[in-house]
Structure formats: structure tokens, C-alpha cells
Chain A
Amino acid sequence: MAKFTNYMQRYWALYAMLLLPMAFFIIFRYWPMINMQIAFRQNNIILSIWEVPWATNPDGTTNIFANFQRMFAHPPFADAFRNTVMFSILDIAAGFPAPIILALLLNELKFRRFKRITQTVSYMPHFLSWIIISGLAIQLFAPDQGTVNVALYNEFGLGPIPFLNQNNPWIATVVGLGVWRSVGWNTIIYLAAITNVNPELYEAADMDGASRLRKMWHVTLPGIRPVIIILFILALGGVMAADFDRFLALRNPLVASVALVLPLYIFEWGITNWQFAMATAAGMVQNVINLGLVLGANFVVKRLGGDGLW
């Protein structure tokens, strides 16, 4: 006991410092978790959530999963679910390898100053908001006055290409803009990992007469494998977490059917249409799947003998 008092006398300040941050996490991160019970109660935006009766079937019998059943039967939810998964798969397919390839190329770049300039410029899109990027996209890809379509027409008599106003071209544009925004920034981690690769391995490969491409493939890439795996687990954890800003900014009425992703669904049905119970259920499904994917991927990686997140 004396020991404890002594300890607290010396280090009470540390706990005092943690007071505000912990209050922040408890209020803004854990309190909402208690509010998740909304998903199991009747939709009611007036009563305090503890007073709202449990959700019921149409015949009036209590069924706490009624909101989930209603949601799964709600066609827009199915659309949003499908679109979210589709965009995530496309984003990972296009956006995950891109920075790895770019980092390998940057690493091979001999001219120091040029390399630094390239890096600085490639980080730039990361600092633009999706609103600004949507402005750029309209500027470039609008059917009549978009720079790309104007150039195609003036130079080649082609176009206009419906980058923004037909489903499939729009999907490609959105995925492309995602890669554009993140590719440079995401090289930072890989480049740092590359500098940690043991130089002796390159020397040994040189002795064996390995070409540059072979060294990239057999030395650099295996050297950064742990980082690649960790980032892949994190990417999997985001599969259900479509970026709200991105889809809100880039969507337009012509592509409404493919632009509806889960965060937009939750916003529109929850906040705009006051369907709190169903939107909370949708958010829960989304977040539980995400958590499951991270845990699952981490488990598999560890089973395979790799280093997981924990």
C-alpha cells in the first residue's frame, strides 16, 4: 500500500494527463456503442432510446432482429451492399499494387533531385479533398466542356466519352481517381521499407549476375513483404468502409444506381429519412463485417507464419 501511495505521489500527473483523452474516447467512441441498441428497438426519434420498445414484427410480436430483416429486404440496401463490395474490390485490385510498383520504380531512379521532385508532386493529390477532386473531375471529364473531351474532339474528332454520366465509365473514373489520389502518398511506407532491405543481399545478387528486374523481384519485393502483408490486412479491413466524401462528391443523378454505397445509404435513410433503427442496423452490419475481416485476415496471416498486426 505504501508502495502504491508512493507510486501515485510520483506519477499522478500521468493519470491526470490521461483524464481528458480517456473522457474523449469514452464519450465520443464508446457511448455511441451503447446507442447501437437503436438497431434492436422500434424506430422512434423522439423518445429517449432506453424508453423505446423493442422492435416488433408486423403482427406486433417482439422480434429484436426485425429491423435487420426489414433492411435485408430493402432493395436499396442490397444495392448499397453490392456497390460497396464492388468498389472495394476494384479499389484493392487497382490501388493496392500501384504504389508498390511505383515505389520499386522510384527506388531504381538514379537522379536524386528528380526523384525528390517526382515524390513531392506525387504526394499532391493526397492533400486535395474529394470535393476539390470532384471539381477537377468535372473540369476534365464533363461531356461538353471537359478538357479531356475537348481535346479528344479538337485533336482527334472523337468523343465525347461519358466519363461521368454512364454507369461503367463512371465506375472506372471513380476507381481511377482513387488510385490517382493515393498512389504517390502510399509509396512513402514502401520506400521506407525498401531502405531497410539488407544491402548485402543486393551485393550477393550482383555477384550472381542478377539483372535489375531480377533484383527487384527476388530481393526488394521479398524484403518488403511484411509491410505489404500488414497493409493488405488493413486494406481488407476497409472493404465495407466506402469513403462517404468520395461518393457524395462524385455521384450524380445519372449514375445513382451504382453510386449508392453503404455510408450514403446510412446517411440518406438514417438522417434524411429518419429511419434511425434500420440505418443503425446497416451501420452495424458494415462495422461488424469490417472487424471480422481484419481479425480473419490477421489470423490467416499468422497461421501462415507471417507477422500479423498483433
Chain B
Amino acid sequence: MVRTVRKSRLKRATIGDWVIVVIMIGLILICILPVLSVVATSLSDPAAIMRRTVALLPRTEVQHVVDNVIVDREFPIGASLDAYRDILTDARFMRALGWTAILTFITTIAQLTMTVLCAYPLTYDHLKGRKIITFIIIFTMYFSAGLIPMYVLLDTIGLINNVMVLILPGLISVFLMIIMRKFFMGIPESLKESAEIDGAGPLMVLIKIYLPLSTPALATLGLMYAVGRWNGFTDALMFMPAAEMAHYRPIQLLLFHILQGMQGVDTTLDAGAAAAPGRTESVRAAAIVVAMLPILCVYPFLQRYFVAGVTLGAVKG
């Protein structure tokens, strides 16, 4: 049955349809090929990279040795996991990876809690002072004091070179809070009313009715917040400059330093580089792949949620 439907759809497709398909295939390639290229490099032998043989498929090196002299080299397609071994045994890299995972988890939970606490009371139309509170919140979307006043504030309250600076200043995104509120508003008022008649207070209504019905929104917001924290590094760069805070720098900042060639001299990342020219290339590529992998694995599964979430925020009001 499915087969015949598809066949008829194919048959009815016009030239215009095929032109669009071709454009879309182009788009898919443009999105995927850069990533593929990095994966290929991360799996290639340094010598193959130096010889400029690597494009989209990983290559290894085969040496033809006669009497202990290399007479010929070939670079057939093949994978080597050396770069990943270097990365995954690098204490600094693995610590940054683990720390960023923990930090992302804690931050996301805190952000979701705060966002719900902020959005839920604002769904009560009769809440006294709702207008002024909403204005106070929305205004911060359109005007911010800027970096230096923020820096001075963080200094005043003791957050410079303090791990909490990676969590506290970004607790609520107004944009995501509005999405949350809008989602809450979509839950039938009658549920709330009947619970209130049964004597449930606002907190009870939130926990027993609103939260269980809000999994799609919570998943969307959770993903947005988590991606923001996983990908974020400027706060650590600006507000945690002290050397003794280096343990608490997130993975993206470490990656930035690796890409900028600013890594210290005592790590295997550099030992690898010293061992073979071209090695840095494959190790860098492997670091990039490892740092983007977690998000790339998660986001497709949450797609149906976040599409709903984003469109919810798009309708103004």
C-alpha cells in the first residue's frame, strides 16, 4: 500500500519538484561535508595529511621498505584511531570533557527550575503587579548594561574567578521564559480551576498538573539551555582568568586554546605533535569531533519538541 502511494507521488512529481530535490541535496551536502572532512582528518595518518591526500575519506600510510630504506609510500583509504587514543588519554582533555558534562547538567537543571518559577506565576492573569513585573523582565531583552558593568558587578559580589560565574549570570533566558509561559498558557484553564476547587494551591497546581503536561516544552528548553552551556566559553574566558581556575574551564575554551596553538607543553597532545608532522592536524580534528559529538547525537531525537517550542515563541504577545 505504502509502495503504491509513493510510486504515484513519484509519478506525479514535475520537473520543478526534481529541481527542488536537487537543491536540497546540495544543501544537505553543504551541511554534512565539512563535518565529514574533519572526521576523515581525525582518522587519517599524519603522513597522509601532510601529503594532502585527505579530503572526505580517511587515509593511512603504507611504506614499502627494501633493505630498511623506504622506497615507496602509498596512502590507501583506511582508518587509524591514533588521534583519538591521544585525545582520550589526555588527562586535561578528559577532565574538561567530564567537568563540562557535569556543569551542563547542573546548570540546565538550575535554569529550568528558575525559568519555570518565573514563567508560571505570570500565567495568572489576575496576578497583581503582573504588568510591571513583565515589563521589568522584558526590558532586559532589549537593553543590557554591557560587559564592563557586568564585570564590575561580578567582581563586587565575588564571582570573578569563582565557578558559580559559569552558572548564575545566565540562569534565565527571557526568550525561553516567554516560550515556557506561552506553553503553560496553552494548558486548559479548567484543569487549574478544578484543582483549585479541590483546595490545591498554586504550587500544587504547578507540580501536579502543569509540569507533567509540559514535557515537550521542558525538553525543548532543556536542550536549548544545555546546548548553550556546552557550547559556551566566553564567560570562563572573561571571568575566570586565574591559572588556578584552569581545572574549571569548559571544553570549548580548551578547544579554543588547542586551535589557537596555545596549549601548554606538558601534555600528550603536544607529544603527539612532536612525534610526527601532521599529527597536530589529526589530533585537533579528533578534539573537534569529540567536542561536537554529544550534541549531534542528542538533537535529532528532540527535534519534534524543539520545533514545537520555537514556533511557540514565534507567535508574538
For residue A271, CB closer than 8 A to chain B, the reply is: yes
For residue A64, CB closer than 8 A to chain B, the reply is: no
Q: Contact between A270 and B288 (Cβ–Cβ < 8 Å)?
A: no
Complex CA distance for A196 and B43, rounded to whole angstroms: 47
Tell me whether A136 and B145 are in contact in the complex, defined as CB-CB below 8 angstroms, given that A21-B172, A111-B9, A248-B234 are known contacts: no
Hey, what's the 0/1 contact readout for B275-317 against A, CB within 8 Å counting as 1? 0000001001101100110011001100100010011001010
Q: Contact between A276 and B259 (Cβ–Cβ < 8 Å)?
A: no
Q: Contact between A36 and B20 (Cβ–Cβ < 8 Å)?
A: no
For residue A114, CB closer than 8 A to chain B, the reply is: yes
Q: Contact between B281 and A145 (Cβ–Cβ < 8 Å)?
A: yes
For residue A189, CB closer than 8 A to chain B, the reply is: yes
Complex CA distance for A129 and B168, rounded to whole angstroms: 21
Residues in A with CB closer than 8 Å to B149 are 32-36, 38, 280, 283
Q: Contact between B13 and A283 (Cβ–Cβ < 8 Å)?
A: no
Of the candidates B52, B231, B233, B316, the one whose C-beta lies within 8 Å of that of A307 is B316
Q: Could you say which of A108, A127, A263 has the most chain B C-beta atoms within 10 Å of its C-beta?
A: A127
Residue of chain A at shortest CB distance from B42: A139
For residue A24, CB closer than 8 A to chain B, the reply is: yes
For residue A257, CB closer than 8 A to chain B, the reply is: no
Q: Could you say which of B148, B206, B230 has the most chain A C-beta atoms within 10 Å of its C-beta?
A: B148
Q: Contact between A14 and B23 (Cβ–Cβ < 8 Å)?
A: no
Of the candidates B31, B37, B238, the one whose C-beta lies within 8 Å of that of A267 is B238
Q: How far is the CB of A216 from chain B (nearest CB, A)?
A: 11
Q: How far is the CB of B270 from chain A (nearest CB, A)?
A: 17
Q: Contact between A14 and B24 (Cβ–Cβ < 8 Å)?
A: no
Which residues 121-143 in A have Cβ within 8 Å of B in the complex? 121-125, 127-129, 131-132, 134-136, 138-140
Q: Contact between A139 and B31 (Cβ–Cβ < 8 Å)?
A: no
The tally of residues in B whose CB lies under 8 Å from a CB in A reads 86
Complex CA distance for A135 and B13, rounded to whole angstroms: 40
Q: Contact between B52 and A184 (Cβ–Cβ < 8 Å)?
A: no
Q: Contact between B37 and A17 (Cβ–Cβ < 8 Å)?
A: no
Q: Contact between A123 and B299 (Cβ–Cβ < 8 Å)?
A: yes
Q: Contact between B259 and A134 (Cβ–Cβ < 8 Å)?
A: yes
Q: Contact between B145 and A18 (Cβ–Cβ < 8 Å)?
A: no
Which residues 141-163 in B have Cβ within 8 Å of A in the complex? 142-153, 157
Tell me whether A32 and B288 are in contact in the complex, defined as CB-CB below 8 angstroms, given that A127-B227, A134-B259, A230-B316 are known contacts: no
Q: Contact between A14 and B146 (Cβ–Cβ < 8 Å)?
A: no
Of the candidates B23, B24, B37, the one whose C-beta lies within 8 Å of that of A140 is B37
Tell me whether A283 and B299 are in contact in the complex, defined as CB-CB below 8 angstroms, given that A32-B153, A124-B31 are known contacts: no
Q: How far is the CB of A189 from chain B (nearest CB, A)?
A: 4
Q: Contact between A132 and B128 (Cβ–Cβ < 8 Å)?
A: no
Complex CA distance for A12 and B169, rounded to whole angstroms: 27
Q: Contact between A287 and B143 (Cβ–Cβ < 8 Å)?
A: yes
Residue of chain A at shortest CB distance from B155: A45
Complex CA distance for A35 and B291, rounded to whole angstroms: 36
| CB-CB nearest 9 A-B residue pairs | A283-B146, A129-B231, A32-B145, A35-B149, A21-B118, A192-B311, A32-B149, A14-B121, A135-B288
Residue of chain B at shortest CB distance from A266: B147
28 A-B residue pairs with CB within 8 Å:
A10-B201, A21-B172, A25-B136, A27-B157, A28-B153, A28-B171, A29-B144, A32-B145, A35-B150, A38-B148, A105-B23, A118-B28, A127-B227, A132-B231, A135-B38, A135-B285, A136-B35, A136-B37, A139-B41, A145-B49, A150-B55, A184-B31, A189-B314, A230-B316, A266-B146, A287-B145, A290-B142, A294-B142
Q: Contact between A11 and B202 (Cβ–Cβ < 8 Å)?
A: yes
Complex CA distance for A230 and B317, rounded to whole angstroms: 12
For residue B71, CB closer than 8 A to chain A, the reply is: no
Complex CA distance for A287 and B267, rounded to whole angstroms: 42
Q: Contact between A114 and B252 (Cβ–Cβ < 8 Å)?
A: no
For residue A304, CB closer than 8 A to chain B, the reply is: no
Of the candidates B144, B252, B316, the one whose C-beta lies within 8 Å of that of A32 is B144
For residue B84, CB closer than 8 A to chain A, the reply is: no
Of the candidates A38, A105, A140, A284, the one whose C-beta lies within 8 Å of that of B152 is A38
Hey, what's the 0/1 contact readout for B115-142 against A, CB within 8 Å counting as 1? 0011011001001100001001100101
Q: Contact between B140 and A129 (Cβ–Cβ < 8 Å)?
A: no
Residues in B with CB closer than 8 Å to A193 are 314
Of the candidates A31, A105, A154, A189, the one whose C-beta lies within 8 Å of that of B20 is A105
For residue A156, CB closer than 8 A to chain B, the reply is: no
Q: Could you say which of B31, B137, B171, B287 has the most chain A C-beta atoms within 10 Å of its C-beta?
A: B31
Q: Contact between A28 and B169 (Cβ–Cβ < 8 Å)?
A: yes
Residue of chain A at shortest CB distance from B115: A21
Q: Contact between A35 and B35 (Cβ–Cβ < 8 Å)?
A: no
Complex CA distance for A125 and B31, rounded to whole angstroms: 7
Of the candidates B148, B232, B295, the one whose C-beta lies within 8 Å of that of A270 is B148
Q: Contact between A127 and B285 (Cβ–Cβ < 8 Å)?
A: no
For residue B17, CB closer than 8 A to chain A, the reply is: yes
For residue B255, CB closer than 8 A to chain A, the reply is: yes
Residues in A with CB closer than 8 Å to B231 are 127-129, 131-132
Residue of chain B at shortest CB distance from A226: B316
Residue of chain A at shortest CB distance from B10: A111
For residue A74, CB closer than 8 A to chain B, the reply is: no
Q: Contact between A24 and B114 (Cβ–Cβ < 8 Å)?
A: yes
Q: Contact between B259 and A135 (Cβ–Cβ < 8 Å)?
A: yes
Which residues 29-86 in B have Cβ within 8 Å of A in the complex? 30-32, 34-35, 37-38, 41, 49-50, 52, 54-56
